[in-house]
Amino acid sequence: MKALGKVYLIGAGPGAQDLITLRGARLLALADVVLHDALVTPEMLELCPQAVKVAVGKRCGKLSTAQAFINKQMLDCAKKYALVVRLKGGDPMLFGRADEELRALEGAGVEVEVVPGITTALAAAAATKQPLTKRGVSRSVAFFTSSTAPEHADQVKVPDTDTLVQYMGGREAIVTAQRMLDQGWRPDTPVVVIENCSRADQRISRLTLATLARGLGEARGPVLVMLGDALQMREHQQSDTEEEAVRLTA
């Protein structure tokens, strides 16, 4: 009987090709097959020209691959190839369904290793030059998402912490903002919204909790929302619009 291949769950990071880890890039260059998320950029896939590429993306409101089918594809690939990569946006262990995939692989006796990636919240903090913690202001951070199974939707609560980072924000962040206002958060609490973090079409918006509660414009890519007093712009900090203008005229 042919030995099973090894599967690597690799975090691709927020999107930019050069934000993947060296270990992740090295394994991509050796991979026989790469099963990749919809959020993985074409530039990232340039790191594995030798590999068979299989799109197994999940996108809200769009045609998606069922998780059970993804699990089966990984198992089928492990029977056929020596080095299998499951490439995920961000970090595999944060909102990446890693538990389900690890269970499927371990249950079938397939060797699996996880390679971490830069999660979008940290890339967004860097892109906006806004630390998520700040001495005397924010000592705690929560990463959360409202995306959940339908039967649990009414159980989603806003975390009780200094800085909040909502993944897959979009329209769901509007509901979060209203809940925060209802819980007594100040209407002028700073909010930073970042779309397509680290990519060429990255877009940053600065607003307040009250403004967010009234709505967000149409998003053209993945959205992450950061909320809390740590997001207040520093006295001498340029706005993102000003910084972009400096880059374009330099």
Give Cα 159 distance to the centre of its chain. Answer: 18
Query: Residue 157: its pLDDT value, please?
Result: 75
Query: Residue 155: its pLDDT value, please?
Result: 56
Is the pLDDT at 148 greater than 70? The verdict is no
Is the pLDDT at 150 greater than 50? The verdict is no
**∠ CA 146-127-87, rounded to 5°:** 60
- 74 catalytically annotated: no
* pLDDT tens, position by position, 3-30: 899 999 999 999 999 999 999 999 999 9
- Identify the active-site residue in 6, 32, 53, 58: 58
Work out the pLDDT band at 147, boundaries 50, 70, 90: low
Q: How does strand 223-227 pair with strand 163-166?
A: antiparallel
* pLDDT tens, position by position, 111-135: 999 999 999 999 999 999 999 999 9
- 134 catalytically annotated: no
- Per the DSSP assignment, residues forming a β-bridge with 13 are 90
Q: Which amino acid is at 236?
A: H
- 76 catalytically annotated: no
Q: How many helices (H) and strands (E) in the chain?
A: 8, 10
The span from the CA of 62 to the CA of 222, in Å, is 13
Residue 119 in tokens = 């999660």
Residue 135 in tokens = 């001495």
* pLDDT tens, position by position, 41-85: 999 999 999 999 999 986 555 556 799 999 999 999 999 999 999
The span from the CA of 164 to the CA of 161, in Å, is 7
Q: How does strand 112-115 pair with strand 6-11?
A: parallel
**120-249 matches 6-115 in CATH topology:** no
Complete DSSP assignment for 88-112 = ESB-TTSSS-HHHHHHHHHHTT--E
Report domain 120-249's class: alpha beta
**∠ CA 16-217-155, rounded to 5°:** 85
Q: Where are the domains of the chain?
A: 6-115, 120-249
Is the pLDDT at 245 greater than 50? The verdict is no
Q: Please, are residues 228 and 168 in contact by the beta-carbon 8 Å criterion?
A: no
The span from the CA of 128 to the CA of 6, in Å, is 38
- Identify the active-site residue in 44, 74, 168, 180: 168
The span from the CA of 225 to the CA of 189, in Å, is 13
Closest of 220, 231, 164 to residue 197, by C-alpha: 220
- Per the DSSP assignment, residues forming a β-bridge with 227 are 164, 191
* pLDDT tens, position by position, 160-213: 999 999 998 888 899 999 999 999 999 999 999 999 999 999 999 999 999 999
- Model pTM? 0.88
Instruction: Please give the CATH number for the structural domain made up of 6-115.
Output: 3.40.1010.10
Quote the radius of gyration of the chain (alpha carbons, Å): 20
Helix 98-107 to helix 67-80 angle (10° resolution) is 40
